[in-house]
Amino acid sequence: MIAQTRHRRRAALTVPALLAVLALVVTFIRTPAATAAASMTVAQAIASQTGGTGTVTGYVVGEPTATSTVRTSSFTGDTALALADSSTQTSTGSMLYVQITSAYRSSFGLLTNPGRMRTQITVTGTLTAYFSHAGLKSPTSMTAGGSSPTTSPTSGPTATPTSSSSTDTYYANAIGKSGDSLKNALHTIISTGVTKLSYDGVWNALKVTDQDPSNSSNVILLYSGISRSKTLNGGDSGDWNREHVYAKSHGDFGTTAGPGTDLHHLRPEDVAVNALRDNKDFDTGGSAATGAPGNYTDSDSWEPRNAVKGDVARMIFYMAVRYEGDDGFADLEVNNSVSNGSNPYIGKLSVLLTWNAQDPPDSFEKNRNQVIYASYQHNRNPFIDHPEWVSSIFG
């Protein structure tokens, strides 16, 4: 009898205890973790300059160098960036200046990573003035995208958005079209809001767009594949200069702002190799090109090395869509000839189609496209993002 009574008392005590534990579990599940701070917009961060800690998500729009000065190209350092709620924001009053401490400079500094421009990042730090301007200092977290941050730096920027993400917005008016309708839509897209460089400005741009991924002091030469010092740009033997892949005499556009300075077909190349290619069309065959292993040439054509055959083709196709004769320049086109002379045509179409299929875009080509879009011209080569569109338009 005594044993039964004790058993009942233990059972009576156990039930309330279990209920209490369950209540605590439910409360824990329903209560958000205190460390999961919600991300605020740039506008909210600008209005919250109290010295407290905040997490901000925004688009990288430049490098602040003074209270009212933000560079959008030709960056000078890796110590600061400007965020905005829109990737096209130009008013410094709508920007948040972010300090980049040493732990994050290799991944987020704009001198090292110009491809960060116009991409979204999330930063956690102290909301306080920087450059005597609304800012965020002493970051404890910086991550790409709008997701919740982690406490350690991330790797370098993604070269270019995938075709299923932000490029879908850029190409929205072209999606689902084909043939001439697709060509016309792409022409409008890649001709809108474009910044034209001067021919002198091309020098510095190529030092960024064609930087050697393994040596930031060098550029990669297009045809020869050589890594050469950025400082050796010029016209002397051993220098590199500005190669017009769509030969500038084909349509006689020269070096004036527009097709003559369009980074999407201008590449660094050895002075002698550039002269050897001259204004020839593209085709297969010929003799080995001096100074450019894997390249071949004859009296009327040039065959580039295998690693850049697709790159060359996509640059040519870009030019044929970008320049349609409605901006004071000739209507540039692609045909199946290798004797085009000064006419606004370049060939050989059947060969270029094959090269596009055989040599798909690689990481170097994709990164170049993104840097041109983010830091210089603000337009893209659609055939790097969508190489399948080449056959839809050109055959």
Strand order in the sheet with 211-212: 211-212, 215-220, 227-229
Q: From CA 250, how far away is CA 381, in angstroms rounded?
A: 20
Q: How confident is the model at residue 14 (pLDDT cuts 50, 70, 90)?
A: very low
Q: What is the pLDDT averaged over residues 101-105? A: 92
- The two three-digit tokens of residue 49, written as one number: 């300059």
- Percentage of the chain modeled with pLDDT above 70: 86
Q: From CA 395, how far away is CA 390, in angstroms rounded?
A: 7
- Percentage of the chain modeled with pLDDT above 90: 78
- The two three-digit tokens of residue 5, written as one number: 């009574």
Model pLDDT, residue 94: 93
Q: From CA 81, how far away is CA 306, in angstroms rounded?
A: 39
Q: What is the pLDDT of residues 188-247, one digit of tens each?
A: 999 999 999 999 999 999 999 999 999 999 999 999 999 999 999 999 999 999 999 999
Q: What is the pLDDT averaged over residues 116-135? A: 93
Q: What is the pLDDT of residues 52-84, one digit of tens each?
A: 999 999 999 999 999 999 999 888 889 999 999
Q: What is the pLDDT of residues 276-301, one digit of tens each?
A: 999 999 999 999 999 999 999 999 99
Q: 105-126: string of b/e by CB count within 10 Å (b at 16+)?
A: bebbbbebbbbbbbbbbbbbbb
- The two three-digit tokens of residue 350, written as one number: 């059947």
Q: What is the pLDDT of residues 317-371, one digit of tens each?
A: 999 999 999 989 999 999 999 999 999 999 999 999 999 999 999 999 999 999 9
Q: From CA 86, how far away is CA 258, in angstroms rounded?
A: 27
- The two three-digit tokens of residue 143, written as one number: 């991550």
- Which region among 2-11, 36-45, 48-57, 83-92 has the lowest average model confidence (pLDDT)? 2-11
Instruction: Give strand pairing partners of 133.
Output: 130
- Which region among 20-24, 66-70, 177-181, 303-307 has the lowest average model confidence (pLDDT)? 20-24
For residue 371, what are the contacts with CB-CB under 8 A and spacing of at least 6?
A: 114, 115, 208, 209
**Closest residue by Cα to residue 270 from 242, 245, 244:** 242
Model pLDDT, residue 87: 87
Model pLDDT, residue 159: 32
User: Residue 225: is it exposed, middle or buried by C-beta count within 10 angstroms (0-12/13-18/19+)?
Assistant: middle
- The two three-digit tokens of residue 87, written as one number: 């990737």
Model pLDDT, residue 37: 53
Is residue 18 pLDDT above 60, yes or no? Answer: no
Model pLDDT, residue 168: 80
- CATH superfamily, region 42-144: Bacterial OB-fold (2.40.50.200)
- Which region among 115-119, 195-199, 384-388 has the lowest average model confidence (pLDDT)? 115-119
Please provide the average confidence, as pLDDT, over all residues in the chain.
87
Task: Sort residue 118 into left (φ over 0), alpha (ψ -120 to 50) or beta.
Answer: left
pTM recorded for the entire structure:
0.63
Instruction: Give strand pairing partners of 54.
Output: 125
214, HSE (Cβ side, Cα atoms, 13 Å)? 4
Q: What is the pLDDT of residues 164-192, one digit of tens each?
A: 345 788 999 999 999 999 999 999 999 99
Is residue 26 pLDDT above 60, yes or no? Answer: no
Model pLDDT, residue 205: 97
Residue pair 319/385 in contact (Cβ under 8 Å)? The answer is no
Is residue 16 pLDDT above 50, yes or no? Answer: no
Model pLDDT, residue 147: 45
Q: From CA 377, how far away is CA 381, in angstroms rounded?
A: 11
Domain locations along the chain: 42-144, 166-394
Q: From CA 271, how far away is CA 128, in angstroms rounded?
A: 51
